[in-house]
Amino acid sequence: MELTTSLGLIVPELVLAVSGLIMLLFAAWGGNEASKPVSIACCVALGGAFALVAPSVCGGYSGPGTLAFYGQLRIDAFAGFAKLMIYASAGAALVVAPRYFDRLNAMKPEFAVLVIFSALGMSIMVSAADLISLYIGLELTSLASYVLASFLRDDDKSAEAGLKYFVLGALASGILLFGSSLIYGFTGSTSFAGISAGMAGGLSGGMLFGLIFVMAGLAFKISAVPFHMWTPDVYEGAPTPVTMFFASAPKVAAVALLARVSLEAFGSQPDAWQQIVTFAAIASIVVGALGAIGQENLKRLLAFSSINNVGFILIGLATATVAGASSMLLYLVFYVAMTVGSFVALLMLTDAEGKPLETFADIKGLSTTRPALAWCLLLIMFSLAGIPPLMGFYGKLVVFQAAVEADLIALAAIGIAASVIGAFYYLKFIKVMFFDEAVDRVQGKADKAQWALLALATLAISPFAWLLTGWLASLADGAAAALFFAA
């Protein structure tokens, strides 16, 4: 009976697993000619999983009925909310990838298979209720990501990105495993509920060290300072569709996992980890803002922007409240839209031969030569800077509001001040595109799929999205409540 119930709860994951295995066989037999049908089939599988997960979010599923496989997984509304963003981001990566790789004659069906298995690993990550299932999901995601980063085998930058990601990722996994072993040794349990109960009586030295190592390992996965070193190099070197995928889906999964570990496993000792999260939040905001100022490569700049945004997300987690977790989820929704939109726009910056253009010098006067693209980028950059009435402002507003309500006024003040610093490099986009003399290097034609994604992303962060904030806030509140119900 337990097995039947558990299988019923993980139907979306089963869809992804079975689809991935079938597409893997199809790719092996069909060769490179199977790239397009495999990509389409994987998009359909992600869409099916999205549809299957949606009811759990709308229904606010929580409680013991969401546990699967004797407490290994928790299929609640919080996990569902994160999965919706993961599947949408993965689907967007599959949509934009063929045009990019076809130019290099490097499109292979394995790309879509790797993305879908990575999405499966992320589904397990956000639903993990035990250190064992946590590690299984994390490693399934990581193994696929290492290959994706080095997908262009003949490109030195891509190979370097994959190698750096692998070496540092292996180090982070080792740190996480060591911390997990300490936690298990001193609490006698690998389940989050058991760990929380074991820590409720007090935090021993071994537990504290285990907590620190686990938090450090997870901080690497979200590229929070001081574990952010890999991000600019990997983002620059990896193929742009892969970079877009890394900046969205895995980021959502890692943040959701960090929140679940902090609030469920370590929920009985919030004072121990709040200091770590608060430091990481402030450091990420400041380092992300200052590190981006001198960048001329657009992908490296967006990498520092990603680090900066992680800091704002961690402010919501640092509150350790339902409102903070809800604000974190809302921020993630708009962060994903802004990230997908910015990288799709970057993919559309090509010369007449289809070669990518990735520096500020390439987009001078873009408003004159490609006005529609320039105006979409303007809205996205203004939103990333947190300028009202765009939704990036709303995301920061709810995070700061949650921090103030939790009496973390100093943290909110630092975040607001650092937002002003970060606005500098976002406004640099506007200055270069609208006020510099046009160079007319962007001459490549974008396809309909790219324009459709860019339009959707721009609409999602435009003032029109304010009409949906009440509905989104309600879903986020339900998802956050499910997380605290488990705790």
* Rg of the chain over all Cα atoms, to the nearest angstrom: 21
Q: Report which residue type is found at 449.
A: A
Decide if pLDDT at 34 tops 80: yes
End-to-end, the C-alpha distance of the chain in Å comes to 25
Whether omega before 226 lies within 30 degrees of 0, making that bond cis, reads yes
Better pLDDT: 103 or 18: 18
Q: What is the pLDDT of residue 292?
A: 82
Q: How confident is the model at residue 1 (pLDDT cuts 50, 70, 90)?
A: very low
pLDDT over threshold 60, residue 278: yes
Q: How far is CA 96 from CA 44, 237, 342, 475, in A?
A: 15, 18, 13, 29
Report whether 91 contacts 47 (CB < 8 A). yes
* pLDDT tens-digit readout, 104-135: 887 888 899 999 999 999 999 999 999 999 99
**Is the pLDDT at 98 greater than 90, yes or no?**
no
% the chain with pLDDT above 70:
99
Confidence of residue 178 (pLDDT cuts 50, 70, 90): very high
Determine if the peptide bond prior to 241 is cis (ω within 30°): no
Amino acid letter, 303: A
**Per residue in 303-338, pLDDT tens?**
898 999 999 999 999 998 899 999 999 999 999 999
Query: Which alpha helices (H) appear in 10-130, and where do they start and end?
Result: 11-30, 35-58, 77-103, 110-127
Q: How far, in whole angstroms, is CA 309 from its chain's centroid?
A: 11
Residue among 222, 220, 200 at smallest CA distance from 308: 222
Q: What is each CA distance from 159 to 107, 152, 162, 370, 484, in whole angstroms?
A: 16, 7, 5, 33, 42
Dihedral (Cα; 193, 198, 202, 208), 10-degree rounding: -80
Phi, psi of 297 (to 5 degrees): -80, 125
Instruction: Give the whole-angstrom CA distance, residue 327 versus residue 330.
Output: 5
Among 266, 10, 11, 16, CA closest to 140: 16
Could you give the CA distance from residue 277 to residue 367 in angstroms, rounded to a whole number?
40
User: Do 266 and 195 form a contact (C-beta atoms < 8 A)?
Assistant: yes
Per-residue confidence (pLDDT) for residue 486, from 0 to 100:
56
Is residue 336 within 8 A of residue 87, CB to CB? The reply is no
Look up the domain containing 403 and give its range. Answer: 2-486
Q: Which residues are CB-neighbours of 242 under 8 A, at least 6 positions away?
A: 93, 148, 149, 151
**pTM of the predicted protein model:** 0.93
**Number of separate domains in the chain:** 1
Partners of 210 in the β-ladder: none
H-run or E-run covering 477: helix 469-486
Separation between Cα atoms, residue 282 and residue 288, nearest integer Å: 10
Q: Find out whether 392 and 334 touch, Cβ atoms under 8 Å.
A: yes
Please report the pLDDT score of residue 114 as a whole number. 92
Residues 6+ apart with CB under 8 A from 414: 282, 285
Q: Which residues pair with 67 in a beta bridge?
A: 74
Query: Taking 90 as the threshold, does the pLDDT of residue 158 lie above it?
Result: no
Mean pLDDT of 186-209: 87
**C-beta neighbour count of 301 within 10 angstroms:** 26
